[in-house]
């Protein structure tokens, strides 16, 4: 019997949610976790340090392809695995752009893609100039190491970045400054690509953030006309082909007042903006990711309902106990699909999500937010 | 943090498919398997002999509720667990009807439910009389131990059951004779009930058998009018309340020429006729079963699409290798949801299934059968 074995480095909720399509499709999923009590513990077969080549080599020998729950594995380690003939998807040549926001901007510029005004910043005086030229404010980012709002600052004076300038080597020798985009909303274009080059995009979604973390996703994005959808799909395809991305790619976008879009961030893995697809699409982002990294044909991405709305369960403190609220939440909202990740609670932490599919977007949002509210009381 | 722990006795595809909603809902699922290489191996935490009370006691101590992948655990063992205060769902008082088809017929008769003509048979002469009175043919069943067409014979002469009469003690001292129903089609009414008494039914489905094994399921059943649906839903509710069933109940029905229905078989667990619900219903039978046995509120059972069609992947020989056919099957049928159970192949064995949701029943069937055909070539 043929046995397709996928190895996932990282054992958070993304790896956890990959176990579902692995069970359905009869694939073998192995997880390389950092510790015993991970969100994907059910499938965690190895606990180790992902920065150690030797440990990953041993893990890689037991699977047909290596993929990721996060983007933090050192590129040198991945290159070494590739040189030994291991299939790493997405490959190191794509992931290096995900790991360095400055290199990402440089590459997207070469590809002619729409972006905010940006600049590489090496000195306080360069930063002061950038602020002056961009309405007195800059979004300053460390090229390396940021996620969910970390490693990002809104600065109006160059001096606000003195601590970062003092340790510039840690960030690769430069900072990245971007204009503060005057956006009307945020969008995300999810897609997947196989090593053979097959590409499939999901419907464009709107994402609503709270404190820099994704809070609500509406699929499809309200009032998105055909021209916008064509543009964002084309952007996703250009990015995935131009950067050599395989598996799921999320392109986070700002929509500006003139109706255009510029690229905010990229994620080369299943992404919070695609959780709706578990119930809201014929093929979920987790199934599509496994199919893509195994170079299997991609599944249909059509919506299963007129609307799907996802609301994140963000921890409020270290006492959240969603499961104790199940009796009330499930009784009040029998249509809600509740997902919890088995993580210990912490303020602001992504602990789970609720998705509702419905004919009406307003109703879907009401039900999903209602269920989330009750769960957060637990 | 509250932790809801479900223990499943049996580790076949039903336990395997229960792992999916357990992951989504953050429930802990533990499986008591008969051997290491089970279909639900991912969650198999104990390997043992389910007829040994002591082994089940130890397992039961680690979970909040015991439920089942099959109906074969001896009633005496379950009663002993219940006497020790363990929650067993469905309880032994319900399962004893599932384990003895004669007791089931007796109880359903008391409840006034529609059934084929039947009789308890202790002697060859009783059987000869039954055959004479029922158009020269009887469906003869061993009350204990049959499934998927095993323990069932079509007999026209009493002598055809001589071997069964010779070992009558093995079957509880009697056989069960039923008339050969002149049915136009087979239906199944799936439902779930909680220990607190909440009840929810899915849409009535049509099931098509091949060689006594379920082959195709159409949801909803074509041309089912409101009166029929009301009748079958009422039957399911009467059965589950009258027999004290909790969790998922499948009532298999024959539809007769006059449009009425009679009860064929019962299954007190998720059932092949409900696999369509994974994609075809807001709440799948596997999620509903976990919610029900934990006495959590039930989920909505509304259809997610106009039609869902499920086609079983029945092994053709001991060489089937579906996964090797994935590249062709998934490329040709991107809408098909393929499920394989990781079981070693054998002729007639349930190895997996394909579900397609679609606006058109004809298209759904075409796609599901097309995908199944390609997979069976692998």
Contact A344 B42 (CB under 8 A): no
Q: Using CB atoms, which residue from A42, A283, A304 is nearest to B304?
A: A304
d(CA B371, nearest CA chain A) in Å = 13
Based on its alpha-carbon atoms, the radius of gyration of chain B, rounded to whole angstroms, reads 21
Average model confidence (pLDDT) across chain A: 95
Question: Is A71 a known ligand-binding residue?
Answer: no
A25 → closest Cβ in B25, B297, B338: B338
CB pairs under 8 A between A and B: 122
CB spacing of B26 vs A342 below 8 angstroms: yes
pLDDT digits (tens, 9 = 90+) for A293-350: 999 999 999 999 999 999 999 999 989 999 999 999 999 999 999 999 999 999 989 9
Q: How far is A183 from chain B (nearest CA, A)?
A: 34
Q: How confident is the model at residue A353 (pLDDT cuts 50, 70, 90)?
A: very high
Confidence check: pLDDT of B26 > 60 = yes
Question: Distance between CA atoms of A44 and B248, rounded to whole angstroms?
Answer: 30
pLDDT at residue number A28: 93
Q: Flag if A331 and B297 touch (Cβ within 8 Å).
A: yes
Contacts of A40 by beta carbon, 8 Å cutoff, 6+ apart: A8, A11, A12, A13, A15, A16, A18, A19, A31, A33, A69
Q: What is the pLDDT of residues B313-333, one digit of tens each?
A: 999 998 999 999 999 999 999
User: Which one has a higher pLDDT value, B132 or A2?
Assistant: B132
Enter the ipTM: 0.94
Contacts of residue A220, defined as CB under 8 A and 6 or more positions apart, other chains included, come to: A203, A204, A205, A303, A307
Instruction: Report whether A362 belongs to an annotated binding site.
Output: no
3-state secondary structure chain B: CCCCEEEEECCCHHHHHHHHHHHHHCCEEEEEECCCCCCCHHHEEEECCCCCHHHHHHHHCCCCEEEECCCCCCHHHHHHHHHCCCCECCCHHHHHHHCCHHHHHHHHHHCCCCCCCEEEECCHHHHHHHHHHCCCCEEEECCCCCCCCCCEEEECCHHHHHHHHHCHHHHCCCEEEECCCCEEEEEEEEEEECCCCCEEECCCEEEEEECCEEEEEEECCCCCCHHHHHHHHHHHHHHHHHHCCCEEEEEEEEEECCCCEEEEEEECCCCHHHCCHHHHECCCHHHHHHHHHCCCCCCCCCECCCEEEEEEEECCCCCCCHHHHHHHHHHHCCCCEEEECCCCCCCCCEEEEEEEEECCHHHHHHHHHHHHHHHHCC
What is the pLDDT averaged over residues B282-299? Answer: 98
Q: pLDDT tens for residues B194-236?
A: 999 999 999 999 999 987 788 999 999 999 999 999 999 999 9
Partners of B353 on chain A (C-beta within 8 Å) are: none
CA distance B6 to chain A (A): 14
The distance of A168 to chain B (nearest Cα, Å) reads: 42
Angstrom distance (rounded) from CA A78 to CA A84: 10
* A280 close to A303: Cβ distance less than 8 angstroms: yes
**A245 to A69, A91, A249, A298, B304: CA distances (angstroms):** 15, 7, 7, 15, 33
Chain A partners within 8 Å of B278 (Cβ): 24
pLDDT, average across residues A112-139: 97
Give all domains of chain B, ordered by start, each with its CATH number: 5-88 (3.40.50.20), 117-178 (3.30.1490.20), 183-376 (3.30.470.20)
Nearest to B314 by CA among B324, B322, B323: B322
pLDDT tens digit string along A27-78?
999 999 998 888 887 777 889 999 999 999 999 999 999 999 999 999 999 9
Nearest by CB: A323 against B3, B42, B337: B3
């Amino acid at each position: 019997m043929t046995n397709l074995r996928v190895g996932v480095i990282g054992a958070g909720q993304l790896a956890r949610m990959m176990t579902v399509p692995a069970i359905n499709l009869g694939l073998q999923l192995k997880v390389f976790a950092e510790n015993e009590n991970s969100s994907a513990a059910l499938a965690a077969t190895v606990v180790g340090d992902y920065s150690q080549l030797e440990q990953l080599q041993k893990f890689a020998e037991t699977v047909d392809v290596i993929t990721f729950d996060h983007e933090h594995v050192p590129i040198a380690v991945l290159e070494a695995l590739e040189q030994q003939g291991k299939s790493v998807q997405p490959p190191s040549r794509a992931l290096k752009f995900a790991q360095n926001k400055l290199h990402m901007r440089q590459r997207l510029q070469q590809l002619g893609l729409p972006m905010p005004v940006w600049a590489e910043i090496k000195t306080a005086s360069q930063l002061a100039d950038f602020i002056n030229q961009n309405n007195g404010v800059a979004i300053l980012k460390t090229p390396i190491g940021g996620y969910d709002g970390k490693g990002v600052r809104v600065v109006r004076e160059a001096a606000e970045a003195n601590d970062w300038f003092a340790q510039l080597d840690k960030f690769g020798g430069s900072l990245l400054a971007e204009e503060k985009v005057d956006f009307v909303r945020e969008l995300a274009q999810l897609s997947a690509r196989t090593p053979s080059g097959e590409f499939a995009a999901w419907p464009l979604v709107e994402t609503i953030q709270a404190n820099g973390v994704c809070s609500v996703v509406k699929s499809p994005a309200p009032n998105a006309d055909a021209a916008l959808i064509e543009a964002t799909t084309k952007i996703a395809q250009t990015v995935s082909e131009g950067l050599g991305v395989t598996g799921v790619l999320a392109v986070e976008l700002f929509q500006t007042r003139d109706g255009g879009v510029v690229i905010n961030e990229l994620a080369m893995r299943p992404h919070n903006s695609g959780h709706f697809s578990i119930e809201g699409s014929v093929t979920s982002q987790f199934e599509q990711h496994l199919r893509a990294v195994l170079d299997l044909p991609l599944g249909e991405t059509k919506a299963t309902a007129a609307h799907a709305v996802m609301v994140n369960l963000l921890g409020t403190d270290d006492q959240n106990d969603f499961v104790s609220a199940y009796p009330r939440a499930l009784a009040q909202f029998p249509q809600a699909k509740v997902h919890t990740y088995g993580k210990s609670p912490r303020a602001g932490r992504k602990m789970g999500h609720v998705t509702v599919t419905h004919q009406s977007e307003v109703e879907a949002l009401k039900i999903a937010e209602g269920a989330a509210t009750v769960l957060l009381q637990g």
